[in-house]
Structure 1
Amino acid sequence: MLVVDDNKVIRQLIRVNLELEGFEVVTAADGAECLDVVHQVRPDVITLDVVMPRLDGLRTAARLRSDSRTQRLPLAIVSACTQYEVEAGLDVGVDAFLAKPFEPNELVALVRQLVERGESDPSVQFGNDTAAGANASAPAGGTSGAGRGMGGGEGAECAGRSGG
């Protein structure tokens, strides 16, 4: 699991909530750092903020989609989504959106759903030689129906949307 957000507090909030649910989490402060570490970390899922210095989340997603090694890696935008961001994210191939502020259980459910989707699609894997402990894995008994009930307030137009 790779969490990309320029806000250290948000990065740590996401990290702690996912680690409490058994995910192994690596963080990056912006899209440029994400692209630097993604091939070393080999995450199962990447969450991206949109507004970040150097390389924003939408351009990062576009670059990940243009690389054959990461083109099918599940990507989620975790941001105070605008309609433009949702449309642009869908255009570049983002899989899901979660509006800030979010409930921790919404985040966990979304990540579990994306991990399960990636596990069921062998083309998502980085190859046959995954580094020990590098990939996040959901604990047994994942949540069915993940993605339901997300949002409901300001910015809810992006919560739980899925692009494909």
Structure 2
Amino acid sequence: MSGVSGRVLVVDDNRVIRQLIRVNLELEGFEVVTAADGAECLDVVHHVQPDVITLDVVMPRLDGLRTAALLRDDPRTRHIPLAIISACTQYEVDCGVAAGVDAFLAKPFEPAELVRVVRQLTHREPRDPRGPRDSRESGEGGPPSLDGRHEAGQAESARG
């Protein structure tokens, strides 16, 4: 499809939130596929072959943090950038970082911020298949915090 910015797999158990994310990303040229929970995400991810996956944290059957860990453990999906889009606690952010999540966006979110985070993840270097990248070696800041900005004390990326 010409003009497509990338394919995003949106995983959220709330149908309205899935649709909100879908519409905002499609308006910006992304192709969007949705899943209702982590189990469905794992069922479709190999067929969909997304450039980015967004995950809610609290979902039935398989939550977003366990889904992220399983995606990172699979050599076929460990390179896919992951963004948590959820009203999550600092503990969940810490667990997400440990699971290999690349970005966090707090609900409720601004549509422009959602697009910015997804676009940034779509255009970044692929994750090293040997494991998580060390942000100090790459010159990039740490994972974006809940509001999508880099953690305090980390350098902003020179990329736009």
Give the alignment of 1:48-67 within 5 angstroms: 48-67=55-74
Verify the 8 A CA contact 2:12 2:36 in the aligned structure 1.
yes
Give 1:48's aligned amino acid: L
Identity among equivalent pairs (%): 75
Q: Which has the higher contact order (CA 8 A, sep 6+)?
A: 1
Which of the numbers 54, 69, 80 marks the counterpart of 1:73?
80
CA deviation map 1:103-139 (0-9, x unaligned): 000000000000001xx33868xxxxxxxxxxxxxxx
* Map of 1:35 onto structure 2: 42
Verify the 8 A CA contact 1:2 1:27 in the aligned structure 2.
yes
Which of the numbers 38, 44, 51 marks the counterpart of 1:44?
51
* Map of 1:103 onto structure 2: 110
Verify the 8 A CA contact 1:57 1:77 in the aligned structure 2.
yes
Give 1:159's aligned amino acid: D
Verify the 8 A CA contact 2:81 2:127 in the aligned structure 1.
no
- Structure 1 stretches of at least 4 aligned residues deviating more than 6 Å after TM superposition: none
TM-score (norm 1): 0.75
* Map of 1:159 onto structure 2: 147
The whole-number CA distance in structure 1 between the counterparts of 2:20 and 2:60 is 20
* Map of 2:126 onto structure 1: 121
Give 2:126's aligned amino acid: D
The count of corresponding residues between Structure 1 and Structure 2 is 130
State the Cα RMSD in Å: 1.9
The whole-number CA distance in structure 2 between the counterparts of 1:122 and 1:72 is 5
Give the alignment of 1:89-100 within 5 angstroms: 89-100=96-107
Verify the 8 A CA contact 1:82 1:158 in the aligned structure 2.
no
The whole-number CA distance in structure 2 between the counterparts of 1:113 and 1:107 is 10
Verify the 8 A CA contact 1:31 1:56 in the aligned structure 2.
yes
Q: How far is the alpha carbon of 1:50 from its aligned partner?
A: 0.2
Unmatched 5+ stretches in structure 1: 125-149, 151-156
TM-score (norm 2): 0.77
2:118 aligned counterpart, secondary structure: helix
